[in-house]
Amino acid sequence: MQYAGNFSGSAPVIKKYKASATGYAAGIVVLRSAANASGQMSISTTTSAADALGLLMDTGNNQGSPIAYSTTQGDPEAVYSVIVNPDQILRAQMVTGATGTAITGDTVATASSNGLTVVGGTSVASPDMDEGIIWYTSGANVGKSRKITSTSSVTATVIVPFAANAVGDTFCYAGINIGLQGVTLTTDLQKVRTDIAVSTGATLTCLDLELNGTGDSYALFTLGDSTFCQIT
Amino acid sequence: MAEILVKRQFTRADLLKDAEAGGRKRGRAAGGWIADIAAQKKVITLCPLCTNKFNPAKVHYRKEKEFPVCQAKCDGCSTFDPRCSWYIYDELYTQVRSTAEERRALARSREQRIKRGYL
């Protein structure tokens, strides 16, 4: 993930915190460490960003090798920089699959003259994309997007109609939309998955969407559960 | 002229403070300390007084310009300053920062692709 600013427009606050495990990487969200954990921060998981501290900005290297968390006496301490603003805006690429491949680009299988349905070749009902977003990547509606208001098998329905589509037009969809909280991250915790049902996973709230092609679409998020905003 | 040398008495609190992570150790030159942080590819934060003494290009660092200040503890003088400059290791920059320049390029590309009829 990338740091993209703050709601308030203020300067980022950068703190250096101690790691409590291995596996840290620049660009992941880190959490308050659990009780009895050794350090001050833990790593988020693909489905949890509760009690977030902020975005990790680096992982230390020492003479070319990463400074890993270690409990060996005399080893360097793993201390990393974190942007801790609770109102920070994070930008992540939208992908599918646990390892983060390009979004599924689907093709219109049955034309819709009224523009209220998009009938593709893959299911939008399981996982359910209802309340998510759909956008065209070619055809008469290229670049246009709508909120999905219901789904059934391979058919996504919208209320504000698109222009009539044609068989062969390509489109993408995502189980992410503005104001919805809950996204599932890839295993490297750097990207967000669009192939998971809406509002499932980590407490990141969608702020904006950059809808481009299958490989360069992004979503912007805020921390839905910053540890500096609420004590839970 | 006679010079009186008085040995400084470090308290236990002083020693513990020195052992605190992320800070420069007693007697350590700031330049060497920052060179060490740079070798570790960590984010470097420097207050307005220290920032001019650091050459980011020399150690493959990039100064953050979109958000020219951050609130942090200066790695040079260990003082918390709300107007620090921050530097990110160049290779890590695009991994952790989204810039207006990059977004502008993406928006331009999007516009051109839409004109071609394929996003």
Question: What SS3 string covers chain A?
Answer: CEEEEECCCCCCEEEEEEECCCCCCCCCEEEECCCCCCCCEEECECCECCCEEEEECCCCEECCEECCCCCCCCCCCCEEEEECCCCEEEEEEEEECCCCECCCCEECCECCCCCCEEECCCCCECCECCCCEEEECECCCECCEEECCEEECCEEECCCCCCCCCCCCEEEEECCCCCCEEECECCCCCCEECCCCCCCCEEEEEEEEECCCCCCCEEEEEECCECCCCCC
Please tell me the total number of residues recorded for chain B in this structure. 119
Name every chain A residue with its beta carbon within 8 A of the beta carbon of B112.
none
**Mean per-residue pLDDT, B37-64:** 93
A129/A147 Cα distance (integer angstroms): 10
- Say which of A11, A59, A210 has its CB closest to residue B106: A210
Number of Cβ within 10 Å of residue A3's Cβ equals 24
Burial A30-51 (b: 16+ CB within 10 A, else e): bbbbeeeeebbbbbbbbebbbb
**Beta-carbon separation of A62 and B40 below 8 A:** yes
Q: Please tell me the distance in Å from A33's CA to the nearest CA on chain B.
A: 17
Name the CA dihedral angle for A146, A148, A151, A153, rounded to a multiple of 10 degrees: 50
- CA-nearest of A86, A110, A82, A106 to A96 is A106
Nearest CA-CA distance, residue B2 and chain A, Å: 42
Interface contact flag, B114 A143, Cβ < 8 Å = yes
| C-beta atoms of B21 and A16 within 8 A | yes
For the entire predicted model, the pTM comes to 0.86
Sole residue written with tokens 């308290």:
B11
Contact B95/A13, CB-based, under 8 Å? no
% of residues, chain A, pLDDT over 90: 81
Structure tokens at A52: 């977030």
Residue A171's beta-bridge partner residues?
A106, A136
How buried is residue A231: exposed, middle or buried, by Cβ count under 10 Å (0-12/13-18/19+)?
exposed
Cross-chain CB nearest to B96 (options A13, A57, A139)? A57
Question: 3-state class of B50 per DSSP?
Answer: coil
Q: What is the pLDDT of residue A68?
A: 74
Chain A positions touching B89 (Cβ under 8 A) are 58
ipTM above 0.85, yes or no: no
* pLDDT over threshold 70, residue B76: yes
Q: Per-residue pLDDT tens for A131-175?
A: 999 999 999 999 999 999 999 999 999 999 999 999 999 999 999
Cβ contact B118–A138 (<8 Å): yes
pLDDT band (50, 70, 90) for residue A230: confident
Beta strands at A88-95 and A192-193: parallel, antiparallel or unpaired: parallel
Among chain B residues, the shortest Cα distance to A91 is held by B98
C-alpha distance from A211 to closest chain B C-alpha (Å): 9
Q: How confident is the model at residue B20 (pLDDT cuts 50, 70, 90)?
A: low
The C-alpha atoms of residue A70 and residue A66 are separated, in whole angstroms, by 12
Q: Residue B118 and residue A143: Cβ atoms within 8 Å?
A: no
User: Given pLDDT bands bounded at 50, 70 and 90, which one contains residue B22?
Assistant: low
pLDDT, one tens digit per residue, over A15-64 is: 999 988 877 889 999 999 988 889 999 999 999 999 999 999 988 665 55
Which residue from A61, A190, A212 is facing B119, i.e. has the nearest CB? Answer: A212
CA-based nearest distance A193→chain B, Å:
18
